[in-house]
Structure 1
């Protein structure tokens, strides 16, 4: 029996390692290529055998003004996440407590509809009010996906919370708004962190809305990376360095908030 369990454990470990290598290989190639020259990247015999250098990273910040693009992406991602939470948390709580399942279904449909469906109407609308190439246009367009996403995650999370907690707060003299702000939100931390993190990642990586609604003043990181590709050639070294720069902040945030994300998704998946 023990031998069978040991064999199953070894087989599971081998399968997990194979899957991990398959998914991690593109990131490993990206990281190594960011320290190579163009010739070394194109050479099949220099995957590991090369002399690392930081020329790609220095050129990214010196020639392409990447700090500006990082700031633009942060403003848009933070703004869209903040306002989505501001509107989405009360909406999700109301839907959960008043059993507005039809409204929840409408929100789910809004989340399922491809974002490109709204792109042309957004562009026409923002052009009419002179909001193209502004943070406002990008934040509102990103909220089109982030807001329904936060609402849908938090509905199931709020439904899992026992109503006795709210009743106790009302008995102690709190209003419904105070119960929500002082009792419900503090104990909903994992769900809030999970939904806000996923919304932030979506906004940080979004390409479709930015390529239409952003201009030179509000160009974000995905658009800046796209500019490394031209008709004549692709600057692979700078492109990989820029991709690493984009990935690093999200990776750090995800690692720091990992336990909250797991507990938030688990709590939202169970209805009490």
Structure 2
């Protein structure tokens, strides 16, 4: 009993410590976003609340953060839609249809190997490739590289969801005369909808928070939010308040997507279980 209680206490302490590691920086950013610069520098805990950081961030003529948020939405949204469509179709093809095992495992091995390598390994090559075609600083370059970078992990996840479908259900549909496109839309798609939403949320968050690709391939017109945040750390001045406000505005869409997506993920999984 004592060893069990001790193990439970250690587990609880570990969970709270992990939560603190994640939450304390977020709370620090949130509080600094509503402080004056002098209060941030002096470390004042209880300081007057101000909206000046958000006003300078969104309405100042010198700030382009609003356009950076729009760029992030365009790049991340477009890339996520293309990735989910490609990953879902490919996962269905390799899992449900008769594909040789060596082909399936070769693609999975490639996806795993690609995700093990850091993104910075490929950024230099991508820059040279797009620079030679005069495409640096374009949405095409940013969206294409995001697709290439995140498609393997989306494919890996969607294949695991497709593999969980009951083979008997697929076989019964085929025996009833359903073509593979009917099997996909009427059977596979409803059952893996929760997995698709989970994969969509994960891919969007990865693309939304990307810094290395956007820093290398974007310019002032296509700059995304993470790159725009880095510009507030200047050579002779660090604009702490505006940087904190920008960070807060950047994490809001990701957190909202997670909170909203959880409900649909559970609903989709339960619907699949009932069917």
Class of the TM-score when normalised by the shorter of the 2 chains: 0.7 to 0.9
Q: Using the alignment, how far apart are the partners of 1:223 and 1:216 within structure 2?
A: 10
Aligned to 1:199: 203
Aligned to 1:42: 41
Post-superposition offset of 1:243: 0.1
Cα distance per residue 1:89-117 (max 9 Å; x no partner): 12222233433212211121122222222
Per the normalisation by structure 2, the TM-score is 0.87
The gaps in structure 2 that reach 5 residues or longer are 270-275
Q: Using the alignment, how far apart are the partners of 1:111 and 1:142 within structure 2?
A: 13
Aligned to 1:145: 149
Aligned to 1:79: 78
Q: Which moved more, 1:54-63 or 1:120-129?
A: 120-129
* Pairing 1:189–2:193 present: yes
Q: Using the alignment, how far apart are the partners of 2:151 and 2:266 within structure 1?
A: 21
Post-superposition offset of 1:264: 8.6
**Pairwise CA RMSD of aligned residues?**
2.4
- The answer to whether the 8 A contact 2:83-2:154 is kept is yes
Match of 1:128 among 126, 132, 148: 132
Cα distance per residue 1:66-86 (max 9 Å; x no partner): 221111100100111111112
Post-superposition offset of 1:18: 4.0
Aligned to 2:272: none
Post-superposition offset of 1:19: 3.5
Matches within 5 A, 1:7-156: 13=12, 15-44=14-43, 46-47=44-45, 49-63=46-60, 64-97=63-96, 98=99, 99=101, 100-156=104-160
The gaps in structure 1 that reach 5 residues or longer are 266-272
Task: Return structure 1 stretches of 4+ with deviation > 6 angstroms.
Answer: 3-11, 262-265
